[in-house]
A and B are shown apart, each in its own frame.
Chain A
Amino acid sequence: MKDLIKIDHLRTHFFSDKNVVKAVNDVSLRVREGETVCVVGESGCGKSVTAMSIMGLIEEPGGKVVGGSIEFDGRDLLKLSKNELRTIRGNDISMIFQEPMSSLNPVLKIGQQIMEPLIVHQKLSKKEARARAIELIEQVGISRAEQIADSYPHELSGGMLQRIMIAIAISCGPKLLIADEPTTALDVTIQAQILDMLREFKKKSNMSMMLITHDLGVVAEMADYVVVMYAGKVVEEGEVVKLFESPKHPYTQGLLKSKPIINQRQDELYSIPGQVPNPLDLTDSCYFHDRCAHCMDICRTKQPVLKGVADQQKAACWLYEEAVVHV
Chain B
Amino acid sequence: MSDALLEISHLKKYFPIHKGLLNRTVGHVKAVDDISITIRPGETFGLVGESGSGKSTVGRTAIRLIEKTSGEVKFKGINIYDLPPEELRKLRPSMQLIFQDPYSSLNPRIRVGDAIGEALLDHGLVPKAEIRDRVLEVLQSCGLSSYHIDRFPHEFSGGQRQRIGIARALVLNPDLIIADEPVSALDVSIQAQIINLFRKLQETRGLAYLFISHDLSVVEHLCTRIGVMYLGSMVETATRDELFKNPLHPYTKALLSAVPIPIPKLKRERIVLKGDIPSPSNPPSGCKFHTRCPFAVARCKEEVPEFRDAGGGHFVACHLV
Task: List residues of A whose CB falls within 8 A of some B CB.
Answer: 42-43, 157-160, 187-193, 195-196, 214-221, 223, 240-241, 244, 254-256, 258-263, 265-266, 268-273, 275-276
Contacts and interface: CB of A to CB of B under 8 A. Distances in A.
B187 interface: yes
B192 A188 contact: no
B264 A260 contact: no
Contacts of B244: 262-263
Contact of B220 (A259, A265, A270, A276): A265
Contacts of A157: 276-277
B189 A188 contact: no
Given A259-B192, A260-B195, A217 B218 contact: no
Contacts of B189: 42, 254-255, 258, 271-272
A189 B276 CA distance: 9
B188 A188 contact: no
- Interface size range on B against A: 35 or more
Interface of B: 50-51, 157, 159-160, 187-193, 195-196, 199, 214, 216-218, 220-221, 244, 254-266, 270, 272-273, 276-277, 292
A216 B266 CA distance: 13
Nearest to B245: A263
A219 B262 contact: yes
Nearest to A256: B262
A191 B260 CA distance: 9
Given A241-B265, A260-B220, A189 B188 contact: no
A43 B191 CA distance: 13
B244 to A, nearest CB: 6
Given A193-B272, A260-B217, A220 B262 contact: yes
A301 B277 CA distance: 53
B50 A188 contact: yes
Query: In this complex, which of B214, B266, B276 has the most chain A Cβ atoms within 10 angstroms of its Cβ?
Result: B276
Contacts of B214: 187-188
Contact of B221 (A187, A241, A260): A260
Given A159-B276, A187-B214, A275-B159, A258 B191 contact: yes
B216 to A, nearest CB: 6
Contacts of B159: 275
Nearest to B50: A187
B239 to A, nearest CB: 13
A143 to B, nearest CB: 8
B132 to A, nearest CB: 25
A215 B265 contact: no
A41 B244 CA distance: 29
Rank and list the top 7 A-B pairs by shortest CB-CB distance, nearest first: A217-B260, A258-B192, A271-B192, A187-B50, A42-B187, A216-B262, A192-B258
Nearest to B183: A260
A266 B218 CA distance: 11
B188 A268 contact: no
Contacts of B218: 260
A159 B220 CA distance: 26
B262 A261 contact: yes
21 contacts: A42-B187, A157-B276, A160-B276, A188-B216, A188-B258, A189-B258, A189-B273, A189-B292, A196-B272, A217-B261, A220-B262, A260-B192, A261-B217, A261-B262, A261-B263, A262-B261, A263-B220, A268-B196, A268-B199, A269-B192, A275-B159
Given A42-B187, A42-B188, A272-B192, A187 B51 contact: yes
A180 B276 CA distance: 22
A105 to B, nearest CB: 22
B299 to A, nearest CB: 23
A193 B273 contact: yes
Given A42-B189, A254-B189, A272-B192, 14 more contacts: A157-B277, A190-B276, A192-B270, A196-B272, A258-B192, A259-B192, A260-B192, A260-B217, A260-B218, A261-B263, A263-B244, A268-B199, A269-B195, A273-B193
Contacts of A187: 50-51, 214, 277
A5 to B, nearest CB: 23
Contacts of A195: 260
A260 to B, nearest CB: 4
Given A255-B189, A265-B220, A188 B259 contact: yes
B291 to A, nearest CB: 13
A217 B192 contact: no
A236 B226 CA distance: 37
A270 to B, nearest CB: 7
A217 B259 contact: yes
Contacts of B196: 268-269, 271
